[in-house]
């Protein structure tokens, strides 16, 4: 009888145990014995990924939003019950003090190479880190940015938090939404030349081939004039912009300098007077949350 009871108990324990989950995070494999219960996300786009997956009940807060961005009504409602632990990048002490067990961030999205907050510095305190796929280029090699980067993050978060079905349903919905939107668009004779203007006046901070706008532009049928720039988000001289003569300029709206001010800078600067985009006043504004990897990469276009 004791043997039977012991066997029965073992079966019960095996049936209720949570299987380990391993995901690829940049150049690391990260294994989770159980879904995190005290997560922190950094930046507005990463936080929105957590929101669409319905993970606020697994979070103890977020960081890195109000220092650069303003939440719209939808996001304010989504994080209403969560504290912002740090307006910009958090310190190691902030994450430890929140009793976090998981940090969703990226390189230059809450972590800096050689900084005090990295997967290695947080590991001794029981804080696992999952890195934003787009940011992996900062510490290694990867292909050019694609919509699959965002899908990959949603899929991995789904595995980490054991909400795979929810993640796959979201991805399928985004794919279908994008396909339907593109099917309604006219075919262009030639891809329009597009420049992404993030910020800067002496030089331009822009999106290279590893940044999400490069993928968005290509999917929409355009060509990023900086698609041969082997960087993610980085600085270029204005001479290169003038030489490549964009037909459309995408302005990323965030920070202290508004999109209207950035547009006015380009329209009134004599150096840009002959740019096709300036002559034809062809500017498109994307909010930061739309231009960085996240659900609104799809929603912003539809």
DSSP labels, 73-140: HHHHHHTTTS-EEESSSPPHHHHHHTT-SEEEEEETBEE-TTSS-SHHHHGGGT-EEEE-GGGGGGTS
pLDDT for 55 equals 97
Q: Where in the chain is the domain with CATH 3.40.50.1980?
A: 2-177, 193-299
- pLDDT digits over 82-137, tens only? 999 999 999 999 999 999 999 999 999 999 999 999 999 999 999 999 999 999 99
CATH topology of domain 193-299: Rossmann fold (3.40.50)
pLDDT for 7 equals 57
pLDDT for 19 equals 77
For the domain bounded by 2-177, which CATH number is listed? 3.40.50.1980
Residues of the chain with confidence (pLDDT) below 50: 15, 301-302
Distances (CA, A) of 83 to 100, 120, 292: 13, 25, 22
Closest CA to 50 of 163, 133, 176, 149: 163
Entry pTM: 0.90
pLDDT for 301 equals 47
pLDDT for 302 equals 45
Distances (CA, A) of 166 to 51, 152, 155: 12, 14, 9
């Amino acid at each position: 009888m004791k043997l039977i009871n012991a066997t029965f108990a073992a079966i019960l324990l095996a049936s209720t145990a949570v299987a380990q989950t391993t995901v690829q995070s940049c150049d690391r494999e990260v294994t989770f014995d159980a879904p995190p219960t005290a997560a922190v996300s950094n930046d507005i786009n990463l936080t929105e990924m957590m929101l669409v997956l319905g993970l606020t009940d697994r979070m103890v807060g977020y960081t890195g939003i109000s220092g650069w961005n303003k939440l719209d009504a939808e996001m304010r409602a989504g994080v209403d019950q969560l504290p912002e632990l740090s307006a910009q990048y958090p310190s190691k002490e902030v994450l430890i003090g929140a009793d976090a067990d998981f940090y969703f961030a990226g390189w230059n999205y809450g972590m800096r190479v050689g900084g005090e907050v990295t997967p290695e510095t947080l590991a001794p305190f029981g804080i696992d880190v999952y890195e934003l796929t787009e940011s992996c280029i900062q510490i290694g090699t990867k292909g050019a940015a694609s919509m699959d980067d965002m899908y990959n993050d949603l899929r991995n978060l789904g595995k980490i938090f054991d909400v795979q079905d929810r993640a796959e349903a979201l991805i399928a919905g985004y794919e279908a939404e994008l396909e339907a939107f593109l099917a309604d668009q006219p075919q262009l004779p030639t891809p329009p030349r597009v420049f992404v203007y993030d910020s800067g006046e002496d030089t331009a901070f822009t999106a290279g081939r590893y940044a999400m706008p490069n993928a968005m532009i290509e999917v929409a049928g355009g060509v990023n004039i900086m698609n041969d720039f082997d960087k993610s988000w980085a600085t270029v001289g204005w001479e290169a912009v003038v030489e490549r003569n964009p037909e459309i300029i995408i302005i990323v709206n965030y920070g202290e300098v508004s999109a209207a001010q950035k547009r006015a800078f380009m329209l009134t600067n004599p150096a840009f007077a002959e740019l096709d985009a300036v002559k034809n006043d062809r500017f498109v504004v994307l909010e930061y949350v739309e231009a960085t990897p996240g659900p609104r990469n799809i929603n912003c276009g539809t």
